[in-house]
Structure 1
Amino acid sequence: MANSSFQYVRDFETSDPLAPSNWIVIRLDGRGFSKLTTKYSFTKPNDLRGLALLNAAALQVVKAFADVVIAYGQSDEYSFVLHESTTLFDRRAAKLATTFAATFTAEYCLLWSEHFPDQPLTRPWPSFDGRCVAYPKRNILRDYLSWRQADCHVNNLYNTTFWNLVQQGGMSQTDAEESLKGTLSGQKNEILYSKFSINYNNEPAICRKGTVMYRAYKTAPTNGAQLAQLDTRGSLSKTQLEKAKKRSAKAEIKVENVDLIGVPFWDARPYILAPSRGDSGDE
């Protein structure tokens, strides 16, 4: 940038790097999606085309940024987790949030016609906002992902019950909302089964559990001792970071609708949150 008498204005810019050695979550949320789903007549309580489009856009984001180790999405939101060692955009919160939101929004709009071929997209275009949160420990990060999946379950159970009361039970939306006030999950399950012969556990997993994406490796550290050994390596050199990024970029991206709250998922895939990004034993 050329020097000029006006360059002093850069002094007003603030730096917002997220603390090092913290896992970064970039969470995107749809803006005004209630209006959008009404405008395009999304199926209630879940439009599988809409969920497929959301996941297709997320997959392109994961492919574009090798620093993403795992992502989780449901409804109109997606969370992208960057490894604690990431230096992407110098860990600047605003840069990360805006870049991911813009990339996701662009992919969502570009892929729209593949999932809604009979409903051309018109203004106002779909858009997503983003925020960044830093989590200092793996267990806190796992609790964050568990929170989002628990939210998916709670909201989907309510919406499934609500819309069946309206669509199949003939209730008004106001009466359905009133009838569900204060009900527990067991009561909602009972309403679905007794009134509509619906076993909630048989509903599509993508609706009940949301979608998780992660990079899978052929081999990985398999026990606590190996992971502890990785922890002693300290910070990675620039060369090591570049090597890890290349390994991540080559890894297969898995897309699954599985439970993240229990331990089996994490025990079977310790490399996802391994101290050394993409450490799989592969060279």
Structure 2
Amino acid sequence: MKFKELDAQMRVFETAHDYCVLRGLYIIARLDGRGFTRLTKKIHQFVAPYDERFRDYMLETGEYLMTSGFKVIYGYTQSDELSLLFALEENTFNRKLRKLNSVLAGEASAKFSLLLGDIASFDCRISQLPSIDKVVDYFRWRQEDAHRNALNSHCYWCLRREGKNVNQATNLMSGLSVAEKNELLFQRGINFNDLPLWHKRGVGLYWEEYEKLGYNPLTGENVPAIRRGIRHDLELPMKDKYSEFVLELVGKSWRHFS
């Protein structure tokens, strides 16, 4: 059998289940660290429950993905997860799901591994959202999850530092209300409201323009120039103000990617 015939015959088995995100749907990719609890708490022993070095590794990974050929409007990270909102006109890989999932997971894994100096891996899943309202709901959902995780993590690690083992700390927290968890922290000298905002709300990555002086070799003068860069926002708004914030980013995106 000639190569062209064999290639055509076998290629079908690779592409028979190729699915593409339909035009007009928003794409959000969510990447999650695989086995990161063991990697970050036992092997590399980052500070628990929140470590600035780990946070910065996640931010650098997110910025790398946002500057590697994809049209990403907004990145959001909390804990060991990273969400990326693509521009509506994103057409990389013809919007094939298997390509988006595999390339994003592979590149995130490679970047984070280089930063960590050890093997780290991410999985990736794609949400296909029909409207901007659902995009806002998605990021409200992830931020609410960040808030819940922050309260639980601080309570859990307070108990662990007191000498409780995994089961004891978990059992002591089981069934506690939000108010009771806040009280648990308060009795140990921690006011949850005073913790850094990025613990409770996550961190955003988005494009912004800034003015920078540049040199004009024709005139010999320093002249202002507009540059674009990615901002790491550690003080995101919350609730309705966060919804407005996400809407504004999407509204501005046409200028950046047109």
TM-score w.r.t. length of structure 2: 0.84
Q: Which of 44, 50, 54 is matched with 2:54 structurally?
A: 50
Paired residue secondary structure (1:130) = strand
Q: Give RMSD over aligned pairs.
A: 2.3
Q: Which of 127, 131, 147 is matched with 1:153 structurally?
A: 147
Paired residue secondary structure (2:250) = coil
TM-score w.r.t. length of structure 1: 0.77
List per-residue Cα deviations over 1:68-111 (Å, max 9, x = no partner): 00011111110111122211211111111111111111111122
Q: Distance in 1 between matches of 2:253 and 2:94?
A: 17
Q: Which of 72, 75, 78 is matched with 1:71 structurally?
A: 75
More strand, by proportion: 2
| 2:55 matches 1:61 | no
Q: Distance in 1 between matches of 2:245 and 2:58?
A: 26
Q: Which of 17, 26, 31 is matched with 2:29 structurally?
A: 26
Distance change >3 Å, CA 269–CA 152, structure 1 → 2:
closer
The answer on whether the counterparts of 2:136 and 2:243 sit within 8 Å (CA) in structure 1 is no
| 2:237 matches 1:264 | no
The answer on whether the counterparts of 1:271 and 1:278 sit within 8 Å (CA) in structure 2 is no
Which residue number corresponds to residue 108 of structure 1? 112
| 2:158 matches 1:164 | yes
Following superposition, the deviation at residue 56 of structure 1 comes to 1.2
Paired residue secondary structure (1:95) = helix
Following superposition, the deviation at residue 262 of structure 1 comes to 2.5
Paired residue secondary structure (1:134) = strand
| 2:112 matches 1:135 | no
Percentage identity across paired residues of the two chains: 26
The answer on whether the counterparts of 1:25 and 1:132 sit within 8 Å (CA) in structure 2 is yes
Consecutive unaligned residues in structure 1, runs of 5 or more: 114-120, 219-249
Distance change >3 Å, CA 112–CA 53, structure 1 → 2:
same
**Aligned-partner residue type, residue 57 of structure 1:** T
Aligned pair count reads 237
Q: Which of 255, 258, 270 is matched with 2:232 structurally?
A: 255
Which residue number corresponds to residue 188 of structure 1? 181
- Aligned pairs for 1:178-257 (under 5 A) are 178-194=171-187, 196-217=188-209, 251-257=228-234
List per-residue Cα deviations over 1:167-209 (Å, max 9, x = no partner): 0x33333222111111111111111112x11111222222211
Q: Distance in 2 between matches of 1:34 and 1:64?
A: 28
**Aligned-partner residue type, residue 109 of structure 1:** S
Following superposition, the deviation at residue 260 of structure 1 comes to 5.2
